[in-house]
Protein backbone atom coordinates (compact mmCIF):
# COMPACT_ATOMS: atom_id res chain seq x y z
CA UNK A 1 0.00 0.00 0.00
CA UNK A 2 1.37 3.42 -1.02
CA UNK A 3 0.93 6.28 1.43
CA UNK A 4 0.16 9.38 -0.59
CA UNK A 5 -0.23 13.12 -0.02
CA UNK A 6 -1.95 15.39 -2.54
CA UNK A 7 -0.96 19.06 -2.49
CA UNK A 8 -3.57 21.09 -4.36
CA UNK A 9 -6.22 18.39 -3.94
CA UNK A 10 -9.14 20.63 -4.98
CA UNK A 11 -7.67 21.61 -8.37
CA UNK A 12 -7.85 19.98 -11.76
CA UNK A 13 -4.79 17.72 -11.27
CA UNK A 14 -5.68 17.08 -7.62
CA UNK A 15 -9.17 15.86 -8.55
CA UNK A 16 -7.84 13.63 -11.32
CA UNK A 17 -5.39 12.13 -8.82
CA UNK A 18 -8.21 11.53 -6.32
CA UNK A 19 -10.26 9.88 -9.06
CA UNK A 20 -7.49 7.31 -9.62
CA UNK A 21 -6.77 6.80 -5.92
CA UNK A 22 -10.43 6.37 -4.98
CA UNK A 23 -10.88 3.76 -7.70
CA UNK A 24 -8.18 1.59 -6.03
CA UNK A 25 -8.80 2.02 -2.27
CA UNK A 26 -6.79 -1.11 -1.40
CA UNK A 27 -3.64 0.22 -3.04
CA UNK A 28 -3.46 3.73 -1.59
CA UNK A 29 -3.81 5.36 1.80
CA UNK A 30 -4.22 9.16 1.77
CA UNK A 31 -1.98 10.74 4.41
CA UNK A 32 -2.72 14.40 3.63
CA UNK A 33 -4.72 16.70 1.35
CA UNK A 34 -4.29 20.47 0.92
CA UNK A 35 -6.16 23.37 -0.70
CA UNK A 36 -5.87 27.16 -0.89
CA UNK A 37 -9.36 28.32 0.18
CA UNK A 38 -11.95 25.70 -0.87
CA UNK A 39 -12.93 24.31 2.54
CA UNK A 40 -15.95 22.37 1.23
CA UNK A 41 -14.03 20.65 -1.56
CA UNK A 42 -11.16 19.81 0.77
CA UNK A 43 -13.39 18.50 3.56
CA UNK A 44 -15.45 16.36 1.16
CA UNK A 45 -12.31 14.76 -0.30
CA UNK A 46 -10.85 14.23 3.19
CA UNK A 47 -14.05 12.49 4.33
CA UNK A 48 -14.23 10.24 1.26
CA UNK A 49 -10.56 9.19 1.53
CA UNK A 50 -10.33 9.25 5.36
CA UNK A 51 -7.26 11.45 4.97
CA UNK A 52 -4.94 11.67 7.97
CA UNK A 53 -4.46 15.44 7.66
CA UNK A 54 -6.27 18.26 5.83
CA UNK A 55 -4.51 21.60 5.39
CA UNK A 56 -6.05 24.85 4.21
CA UNK A 57 -3.51 27.48 3.13
CA UNK A 58 -5.76 30.37 4.14
CA UNK A 59 -5.49 30.55 7.94
CA UNK A 60 -8.79 32.45 8.22
CA UNK A 61 -10.59 29.31 7.06
CA UNK A 62 -9.21 26.97 9.74
CA UNK A 63 -12.31 27.13 11.95
CA UNK A 64 -14.55 26.37 8.96
CA UNK A 65 -12.39 23.38 8.09
CA UNK A 66 -12.46 22.17 11.69
CA UNK A 67 -16.28 22.30 11.71
CA UNK A 68 -16.53 20.65 8.30
CA UNK A 69 -14.43 17.71 9.52
CA UNK A 70 -15.87 17.44 13.03
CA UNK A 71 -16.47 13.84 14.06
CA UNK A 72 -13.84 12.45 11.67
CA UNK A 73 -10.32 11.27 12.51
CA UNK A 74 -8.77 13.78 10.06
CA UNK A 75 -6.46 16.28 11.75
CA UNK A 76 -6.74 19.87 10.48
CA UNK A 77 -4.17 22.64 10.09
CA UNK A 78 -3.67 25.90 8.19
CA UNK A 79 -0.96 28.14 6.81
CA UNK A 80 2.26 27.89 4.85
CA UNK A 81 4.26 25.78 7.28
CA UNK A 82 1.38 23.30 7.50
CA UNK A 83 1.47 22.85 3.70
CA UNK A 84 5.07 21.66 4.00
CA UNK A 85 4.11 19.44 6.94
CA UNK A 86 1.39 17.89 4.75
CA UNK A 87 4.00 17.14 2.09
CA UNK A 88 6.06 14.95 4.38
CA UNK A 89 3.76 13.69 7.14
CA UNK A 90 3.81 9.93 6.78
CA UNK A 91 3.77 9.91 2.95
CA UNK A 92 6.05 8.08 0.55
CA UNK A 93 4.52 9.53 -2.65
CA UNK A 94 3.48 13.17 -3.01
CA UNK A 95 1.44 14.77 -5.78
CA UNK A 96 2.71 18.36 -6.14
CA UNK A 97 -0.30 20.04 -7.79
CA UNK A 98 -0.36 23.51 -6.26
CA UNK A 99 -0.28 26.17 -8.97
CA UNK A 100 2.55 28.69 -9.09
CA UNK A 101 5.60 29.47 -7.00
CA UNK A 102 3.31 29.11 -3.94
CA UNK A 103 4.01 25.37 -4.23
CA UNK A 104 7.77 25.65 -4.02
CA UNK A 105 8.30 25.24 -0.27
CA UNK A 106 6.12 22.13 0.12
CA UNK A 107 7.71 20.58 -2.99
CA UNK A 108 11.17 21.21 -1.53
CA UNK A 109 10.07 19.68 1.78
CA UNK A 110 9.06 16.49 -0.07
CA UNK A 111 12.28 16.49 -2.11
CA UNK A 112 14.46 17.06 0.97
CA UNK A 113 12.68 14.18 2.71
CA UNK A 114 13.71 11.86 -0.14
CA UNK A 115 10.15 11.02 -1.19
CA UNK A 116 8.75 10.16 -4.63
CA UNK A 117 7.48 13.49 -5.90
CA UNK A 118 4.98 13.47 -8.75
CA UNK A 119 5.56 16.96 -10.09
CA UNK A 120 2.74 18.82 -11.82
CA UNK A 121 3.68 22.18 -10.25
CA UNK A 122 6.05 23.20 -13.06
CA UNK A 123 6.53 26.72 -11.65
CA UNK A 124 8.41 25.21 -8.67
CA UNK A 125 10.95 23.57 -10.98
CA UNK A 126 11.18 26.61 -13.27
CA UNK A 127 12.05 28.88 -10.35
CA UNK A 128 14.30 26.54 -8.35
CA UNK A 129 15.44 24.02 -10.99
CA UNK A 130 19.11 23.58 -10.16
CA UNK A 131 18.56 23.81 -6.39
CA UNK A 132 15.76 21.23 -6.60
CA UNK A 133 17.57 18.70 -8.79
CA UNK A 134 20.66 18.95 -6.56
CA UNK A 135 18.53 18.47 -3.45
CA UNK A 136 16.93 15.41 -5.05
CA UNK A 137 20.37 13.91 -5.72
CA UNK A 138 21.36 14.53 -2.10
CA UNK A 139 18.21 13.06 -0.56
CA UNK A 140 17.69 10.35 -3.20
CA UNK A 141 14.20 11.71 -3.94
CA UNK A 142 12.61 10.61 -7.22
CA UNK A 143 11.00 13.34 -9.30
CA UNK A 144 8.31 11.83 -11.51
CA UNK A 145 7.09 14.25 -14.20
CA UNK A 146 3.31 14.64 -14.38
CA UNK A 147 3.20 17.29 -17.11
CA UNK A 148 2.04 15.21 -20.10
CA UNK A 149 4.98 16.23 -22.32
CA UNK A 150 7.61 15.46 -19.69
CA UNK A 151 5.87 12.28 -18.67
CA UNK A 152 5.95 11.25 -22.35
CA UNK A 153 9.70 11.95 -22.55
CA UNK A 154 10.29 10.14 -19.25
CA UNK A 155 8.54 7.09 -20.71
CA UNK A 156 10.51 7.32 -24.00
CA UNK A 157 13.81 7.54 -22.10
CA UNK A 158 13.19 4.48 -19.91
CA UNK A 159 15.95 1.96 -20.50
CA UNK A 160 17.80 4.23 -22.95
CA UNK A 161 21.38 5.41 -22.79
CA UNK A 162 21.32 9.13 -21.88
CA UNK A 163 24.36 9.74 -24.14
CA UNK A 164 22.36 8.56 -27.15
CA UNK A 165 19.72 11.28 -26.78
CA UNK A 166 20.09 13.86 -29.55
CA UNK A 167 17.01 16.03 -29.06
CA UNK A 168 13.79 16.36 -27.10
CA UNK A 169 10.69 17.50 -28.99
CA UNK A 170 7.96 19.03 -26.83
CA UNK A 171 4.61 19.01 -28.58
CA UNK A 172 2.05 21.77 -28.05
CA UNK A 173 -1.57 21.97 -29.09
CA UNK A 174 -0.96 25.60 -30.02
CA UNK A 175 -3.70 26.63 -27.59
CA UNK A 176 -7.07 28.25 -28.30
CA UNK A 177 -5.54 31.09 -30.39
CA UNK A 178 -3.38 28.97 -32.69
CA UNK A 179 -5.15 30.26 -35.79
CA UNK A 180 -6.06 33.76 -34.53
CA UNK A 181 -4.49 36.96 -35.89
CA UNK A 182 -2.37 39.08 -33.53
CA UNK A 183 -5.03 41.84 -33.65
CA UNK A 184 -7.80 39.48 -32.58
CA UNK A 185 -5.61 37.92 -29.87
CA UNK A 186 -4.72 41.33 -28.42
CA UNK A 187 -8.29 41.84 -27.21
CA UNK A 188 -9.16 38.24 -26.28
CA UNK A 189 -11.31 37.81 -23.15
CA UNK A 190 -10.56 35.52 -20.18
CA UNK A 191 -13.45 33.28 -21.28
CA UNK A 192 -11.91 32.86 -24.73
CA UNK A 193 -8.44 32.23 -23.30
CA UNK A 194 -9.50 29.50 -20.88
CA UNK A 195 -11.54 27.62 -23.51
CA UNK A 196 -8.81 25.12 -24.42
CA UNK A 197 -9.57 22.95 -27.47
CA UNK A 198 -8.24 19.63 -26.06
CA UNK A 199 -7.56 19.81 -22.31
CA UNK A 200 -9.66 20.86 -19.32
CA UNK A 201 -7.33 22.56 -16.83
CA UNK A 202 -7.05 25.23 -14.12
CA UNK A 203 -7.39 28.89 -15.17
CA UNK A 204 -3.71 29.85 -14.86
CA UNK A 205 -2.30 27.05 -17.03
CA UNK A 206 -5.14 27.60 -19.52
CA UNK A 207 -4.08 31.24 -20.01
CA UNK A 208 -0.44 30.08 -20.21
CA UNK A 209 -1.48 27.71 -23.02
CA UNK A 210 -3.15 30.59 -24.85
CA UNK A 211 0.01 32.77 -24.69
CA UNK A 212 2.20 29.65 -25.14
CA UNK A 213 4.08 30.70 -21.98
CA UNK A 214 3.10 27.21 -20.85
CA UNK A 215 5.38 25.74 -23.50
CA UNK A 216 8.10 28.21 -22.48
CA UNK A 217 7.84 27.08 -18.84
CA UNK A 218 7.87 23.48 -20.09
CA UNK A 219 11.07 24.13 -22.03
CA UNK A 220 12.76 25.20 -18.78
CA UNK A 221 11.14 22.27 -16.97
CA UNK A 222 12.52 19.82 -19.57
CA UNK A 223 16.00 21.31 -19.25
CA UNK A 224 16.05 20.59 -15.51
CA UNK A 225 14.31 17.21 -15.58
CA UNK A 226 16.39 15.71 -18.37
CA UNK A 227 19.67 17.69 -18.12
CA UNK A 228 19.41 18.82 -21.75
CA UNK A 229 20.65 22.19 -23.05
CA UNK A 230 18.20 24.63 -24.64
CA UNK A 231 19.68 24.00 -28.12
CA UNK A 232 18.59 20.35 -27.94
CA UNK A 233 14.97 21.00 -26.95
CA UNK A 234 12.55 21.87 -29.75
CA UNK A 235 8.90 22.85 -29.73
CA UNK A 236 6.47 21.44 -32.28
CA UNK A 237 2.84 22.46 -32.64
CA UNK A 238 0.58 19.40 -32.96
CA UNK A 239 -3.07 20.49 -32.72
CA UNK A 240 -4.59 17.04 -32.02
CA UNK A 241 -2.66 16.53 -28.72
CA UNK A 242 -2.29 12.81 -29.42
CA UNK A 243 1.52 12.61 -29.46
CA UNK A 244 2.50 14.01 -26.07
CA UNK A 245 6.22 14.49 -26.93
CA UNK A 246 9.13 12.77 -28.65
CA UNK A 247 12.79 11.88 -28.16
CA UNK A 248 15.25 11.74 -31.04
CA UNK A 249 18.31 9.52 -30.64
CA UNK A 250 21.77 9.82 -32.21
CA UNK A 251 21.00 7.08 -34.75
CA UNK A 252 18.05 9.07 -36.15
CA UNK A 253 15.37 6.99 -34.39
CA UNK A 254 12.51 8.85 -32.74
CA UNK A 255 10.29 7.52 -29.95
CA UNK A 256 6.95 9.09 -29.07
CA UNK A 257 4.31 8.50 -26.40
CA UNK A 258 0.66 8.69 -27.46
CA UNK A 259 -2.63 8.72 -25.59
CA UNK A 260 -5.97 10.47 -25.20
CA UNK A 261 -5.65 13.99 -23.82
CA UNK A 262 -6.61 12.92 -20.28
CA UNK A 263 -4.26 13.84 -17.41
CA UNK A 264 -5.26 10.67 -15.56
CA UNK A 265 -2.93 8.77 -17.93
CA UNK A 266 0.35 10.54 -16.98
CA UNK A 267 -0.80 10.80 -13.34
CA UNK A 268 -1.45 7.02 -13.30
CA UNK A 269 2.01 6.47 -14.72
CA UNK A 270 3.58 8.34 -11.81
CA UNK A 271 1.26 6.73 -9.23
CA UNK A 272 2.03 3.16 -10.24
CA UNK A 273 5.66 3.71 -11.35
CA UNK A 274 7.66 1.58 -11.86
CA UNK A 275 4.55 -0.60 -12.36
CA UNK A 276 1.46 0.20 -14.47
CA UNK A 277 -2.15 0.45 -13.28
CA UNK A 278 -5.62 0.24 -14.84
CA UNK A 279 -7.37 3.53 -15.61
CA UNK A 280 -10.81 4.42 -16.90
CA UNK A 281 -9.27 6.91 -19.33
CA UNK A 282 -10.61 6.83 -22.88
CA UNK A 283 -8.55 4.57 -25.19
CA UNK A 284 -7.02 6.29 -28.18
CA UNK A 285 -8.85 5.44 -31.43
CA UNK A 286 -6.31 6.37 -34.09
CA UNK A 287 -8.65 5.49 -36.95
CA UNK A 288 -11.16 7.99 -35.55
CA UNK A 289 -8.41 10.62 -35.12
CA UNK A 290 -7.45 9.84 -38.76
CA UNK A 291 -4.92 12.65 -39.19
CA UNK A 292 -2.03 13.94 -37.11
CA UNK A 293 -0.65 17.31 -38.19
CA UNK A 294 2.38 19.38 -37.21
CA UNK A 295 3.60 22.95 -37.65
CA UNK A 296 6.29 25.26 -36.29
CA UNK A 297 5.24 27.69 -33.55
CA UNK A 298 4.84 31.32 -34.64
CA UNK A 299 7.41 33.40 -32.72
CA UNK A 300 5.73 36.69 -33.66
CA UNK A 301 2.25 35.97 -32.28
CA UNK A 302 3.67 34.02 -29.32
CA UNK A 303 6.58 36.12 -27.93
CA UNK A 304 6.43 34.21 -24.61
CA UNK A 305 8.36 31.38 -26.27
CA UNK A 306 11.27 33.70 -27.06
CA UNK A 307 11.21 35.21 -23.54
CA UNK A 308 11.28 31.79 -21.88
CA UNK A 309 14.10 30.50 -24.06
CA UNK A 310 16.13 33.65 -23.37
CA UNK A 311 15.47 33.28 -19.62
CA UNK A 312 16.66 29.66 -19.72
CA UNK A 313 19.78 30.54 -21.68
CA UNK A 314 20.49 33.65 -19.61
CA UNK A 315 20.10 31.65 -16.39
CA UNK A 316 20.64 33.25 -12.99
CA UNK A 317 17.47 34.88 -11.68
CA UNK A 318 15.83 35.22 -15.11
CA UNK A 319 13.55 32.14 -14.92
CA UNK A 320 12.28 33.28 -11.49
CA UNK A 321 11.57 36.79 -12.82
CA UNK A 322 9.90 35.35 -15.93
CA UNK A 323 7.65 33.16 -13.81
CA UNK A 324 6.75 35.76 -11.17
CA UNK A 325 5.94 38.48 -13.72
CA UNK A 326 3.87 35.97 -15.69
CA UNK A 327 1.91 34.96 -12.56
CA UNK A 328 1.09 38.64 -11.91
CA UNK A 329 0.22 39.27 -15.57
CA UNK A 330 -2.05 36.22 -15.84
CA UNK A 331 -3.88 37.07 -12.60
CA UNK A 332 -4.38 40.65 -13.81
CA UNK A 333 -5.65 39.42 -17.19
CA UNK A 334 -8.14 37.04 -15.50
CA UNK A 335 -9.23 40.03 -13.38
CA UNK A 336 -9.69 42.14 -16.55
CA UNK A 337 -6.99 44.55 -15.43
CA UNK A 338 -4.58 43.73 -18.30
CA UNK A 339 -5.33 43.01 -21.98
CA UNK A 340 -4.30 39.60 -23.30
CA UNK A 341 -1.91 41.24 -25.76
CA UNK A 342 0.08 42.86 -22.91
CA UNK A 343 0.84 39.73 -20.87
CA UNK A 344 4.14 38.99 -22.63
CA UNK A 345 5.01 42.72 -22.71
CA UNK A 346 4.71 42.93 -18.92
CA UNK A 347 6.94 39.87 -18.54
CA UNK A 348 9.51 41.31 -20.93
CA UNK A 349 9.51 44.64 -19.09
CA UNK A 350 10.03 42.92 -15.73
CA UNK A 351 12.93 40.91 -17.18
CA UNK A 352 14.53 44.05 -18.64
CA UNK A 353 14.28 45.93 -15.33
CA UNK A 354 15.37 43.15 -13.00
CA UNK A 355 18.75 43.44 -11.31
CA UNK A 356 18.38 40.20 -9.34
CA UNK A 357 21.35 37.84 -9.26
CA UNK A 358 21.46 34.04 -9.29
CA UNK A 359 19.85 32.45 -6.20
CA UNK A 360 21.95 30.23 -3.99
CA UNK A 361 19.11 29.10 -1.70
CA UNK A 362 15.34 28.60 -1.73
CA UNK A 363 15.17 31.72 0.47
CA UNK A 364 16.82 33.68 -2.38
CA UNK A 365 14.31 32.24 -4.88
CA UNK A 366 11.38 33.32 -2.71
CA UNK A 367 12.89 36.79 -2.22
CA UNK A 368 13.39 37.29 -5.99
CA UNK A 369 9.83 36.04 -6.53
CA UNK A 370 8.45 38.58 -4.02
CA UNK A 371 10.50 41.48 -5.38
CA UNK A 372 9.46 40.73 -8.95
CA UNK A 373 5.79 40.47 -8.00
CA UNK A 374 5.95 43.93 -6.40
CA UNK A 375 7.74 45.37 -9.44
CA UNK A 376 5.32 43.75 -11.90
CA UNK A 377 2.34 45.01 -9.88
CA UNK A 378 3.76 48.52 -10.10
CA UNK A 379 4.13 48.20 -13.89
CA UNK A 380 0.50 47.11 -14.36
CA UNK A 381 -1.28 50.49 -14.61
CA UNK A 382 1.05 51.77 -17.35
CA UNK A 383 0.84 48.44 -19.22
CA UNK A 384 -2.94 48.33 -19.07
CA UNK A 385 -3.36 51.89 -20.37
P1 LIG B 1 -5.94 24.46 -10.38
O2 LIG B 1 -6.04 25.95 -10.33
O3 LIG B 1 -7.08 23.69 -10.93
O4 LIG B 1 -5.63 23.90 -8.90
C5 LIG B 1 -4.62 24.47 -8.11
C6 LIG B 1 -4.61 23.84 -6.72
O7 LIG B 1 -3.63 24.53 -5.94
C8 LIG B 1 -5.93 23.97 -5.96
O9 LIG B 1 -6.11 22.85 -5.13
C10 LIG B 1 -5.72 25.22 -5.12
O11 LIG B 1 -6.50 25.21 -3.95
C12 LIG B 1 -4.23 25.11 -4.78
N13 LIG B 1 -3.61 26.43 -4.59
C14 LIG B 1 -3.68 27.50 -5.41
N15 LIG B 1 -2.99 28.53 -4.91
C16 LIG B 1 -2.46 28.11 -3.74
C17 LIG B 1 -1.67 28.75 -2.73
N18 LIG B 1 -1.29 30.03 -2.84
N19 LIG B 1 -1.31 28.03 -1.66
C20 LIG B 1 -1.71 26.74 -1.52
N21 LIG B 1 -2.47 26.09 -2.44
C22 LIG B 1 -2.84 26.77 -3.53
O23 LIG B 1 -4.61 24.13 -11.18
P24 LIG B 1 -4.26 22.81 -12.03
O25 LIG B 1 -4.72 22.99 -13.41
O26 LIG B 1 -4.65 21.60 -11.27
O27 LIG B 1 -2.66 22.92 -12.08
C28 LIG B 1 -1.85 22.62 -10.96
C29 LIG B 1 -0.40 22.57 -11.43
O30 LIG B 1 -0.26 21.51 -12.36
C31 LIG B 1 0.06 23.84 -12.16
O32 LIG B 1 1.40 24.10 -11.87
C33 LIG B 1 -0.08 23.46 -13.62
O34 LIG B 1 0.82 24.16 -14.46
C35 LIG B 1 0.26 21.98 -13.59
N36 LIG B 1 -0.32 21.21 -14.69
C37 LIG B 1 -1.67 21.13 -14.84
C38 LIG B 1 -2.22 20.41 -15.89
C39 LIG B 1 -3.72 20.27 -16.07
O40 LIG B 1 -4.17 19.56 -16.95
N41 LIG B 1 -4.54 20.92 -15.24
C42 LIG B 1 -1.38 19.77 -16.81
C43 LIG B 1 0.00 19.88 -16.62
C44 LIG B 1 0.52 20.59 -15.55
MG1 LIG C 1 2.04 20.16 -20.42
pLDDT tens digit string along 79-100?
A: 999 999 999 999 999 999 999 9
Q: Residues near 381 by Cβ (< 8 Å), separated by ≥ 6?
A: none
For a pLDDT cut of 90, what percent of the chain falls above it?
Answer: 98
Judge: domain 2-146, CATH 3.40.50.720: yes
- The number of the ligand nearest the C-alpha atom of 123 reads 1
Give the DSSP letter string of 78-99. Answer: ESHHHHHHHHHSS-SEEEE---
Query: Between β-strands 28-35 and 233-237, what pairing exists: parallel, antiparallel or unpaired?
Result: unpaired
**Length reported for the chain:** 385
- pTM for the complete prediction? 0.98
pLDDT for residue 179 is more than 90: yes
Best probe residue, ligand 1, of 197, 201, 270 (max atoms within 8 Å of C-beta): 201
Banded pLDDT at 197 (limits 50, 70, 90): confident
Please give the pLDDT value at position 154.
98
Taking ligand 2, which is a single-atom ion, which protein residues have CB atoms under 5 Å away? 147-149
Please give the pLDDT value at position 385.
79
Q: Is 196 annotated as a binding residue?
A: yes
Hey, whose CA ends up nearest to atom 36 of ligand 1?
A: 120
pLDDT for residue 196 is more than 90: no
Hey, whose CA ends up nearest to atom 22 of ligand 1?
A: 36
The CA-to-CA distance between both ends of the chain, in Å, stands at 56
275 and 282 in contact (C-beta within 8 Å)? no
The ipTM, to two decimals, is: 0.99
Please give the pLDDT value at position 313.
98
Nearest to 205 by CA among 122, 265, 126, 144: 122
What are 267-287's pLDDT values in tens digits?
999 999 999 999 999 999 999
Measured over the CA atoms of residue 284, residue 289, residue 291 and residue 294, the dihedral's sign is negative
Please give the pLDDT value at position 200.
84
- Mean pLDDT across 52-64: 98
Q: Is 187 annotated as a binding residue?
A: no
Please give the pLDDT value at position 16.
98
Dist. CA 147 → ligand 2 center (Å): 5
Dist. CA 260 → ligand 1 center (Å): 21
324 and 100 in contact (C-beta within 8 Å)? no
What are 307-362's pLDDT values in tens digits?
999 999 999 999 999 999 999 999 999 999 999 999 999 999 999 999 999 999 99
Q: Residues near 27 by Cβ (< 8 Å), separated by ≥ 6?
A: 1, 2, 277
Please give the pLDDT value at position 67.
98
What are 104-142's pLDDT values in tens digits?
999 999 999 999 999 999 999 999 999 999 999 999 999
- Mean pLDDT, the chain, rounded, equals 97
**Residue 258: beta bridge partners?**
243
Dist. CA 321 → ligand 2 center (Å): 21
Instruction: Give the C-alpha separation, 32 to 143, whole Å.
Output: 19
Dist. CA 66 → ligand 2 center (Å): 35
Hey, whose CA ends up nearest to atom 18 of ligand 1?
A: 102
Q: Is 173 annotated as a binding residue?
A: yes
Burial class (CB in 10 A: 0-12, 13-18, 19+), 39: buried
- The number of the ligand nearest the C-alpha atom of 104 reads 1
List the alpha helices (DSSP H) in the chain.
12-23, 39-49, 62-68, 80-88, 104-112, 122-139, 148-157, 182-186, 190-194, 203-211, 213-226, 264-272, 286-289, 303-314, 318-334, 343-353, 362-384
Please give the pLDDT value at position 198.
84
3-state secondary structure at position 278 = coil
Q: Is 12 annotated as a binding residue?
A: yes
At what angle are helices 213-226 and 122-139 packed, to 10 degrees? 10
Best probe residue, ligand 1, of 11, 118, 197 (max atoms within 8 Å of C-beta): 11
Please give the pLDDT value at position 185.
98
Residues within a 6 A CB radius of ligand 1: 8-14, 35-36, 38, 57, 83, 97-99, 102, 120-123, 147, 199, 201-202, 204-205, 263
Query: Which position has the higher pLDDT, 31 or 384?
Result: 31
Query: Which position has the higher pLDDT, 198 or 48?
Result: 48
Ligand 1 atom nearest residue 16's Cα: 26
Hey, whose CA ends up nearest to atom 2 of ligand 1?
A: 202
Cα–Cα–Cα angle for 180, 185, 191, nearest 5°? 105
Q: What is the dihedral of CA 87, 93, 97, 100, to 10 degrees?
A: 60
Instruction: Give the C-alpha separation, 346 to 327, whole Å.
Output: 11
Banded pLDDT at 63 (limits 50, 70, 90): very high
Q: Is 214 annotated as a binding residue?
A: yes
Please give the pLDDT value at position 235.
98
Give the DSSP letter string of 240-275. Answer: T--EEEEEEETTS-EEEEE--S-THHHHHHHHHTTS
**Domain parsing of the chain, residue ranges:** 2-146
- Mean pLDDT across 136-155: 98
Amino acid sequence: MKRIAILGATGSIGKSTLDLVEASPDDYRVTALTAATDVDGLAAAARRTRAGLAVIADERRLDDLRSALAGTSTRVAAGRAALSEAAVADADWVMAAIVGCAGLEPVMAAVDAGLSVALANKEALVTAGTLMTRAAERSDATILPVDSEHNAIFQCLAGQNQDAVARLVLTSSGGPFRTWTAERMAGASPEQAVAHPNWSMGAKISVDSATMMNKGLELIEAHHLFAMPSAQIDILVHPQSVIHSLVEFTDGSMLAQLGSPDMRIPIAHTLAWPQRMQTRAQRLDLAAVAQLSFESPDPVRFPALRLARAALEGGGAAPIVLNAANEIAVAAFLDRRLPFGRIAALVEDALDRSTATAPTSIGDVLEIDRTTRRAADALLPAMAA
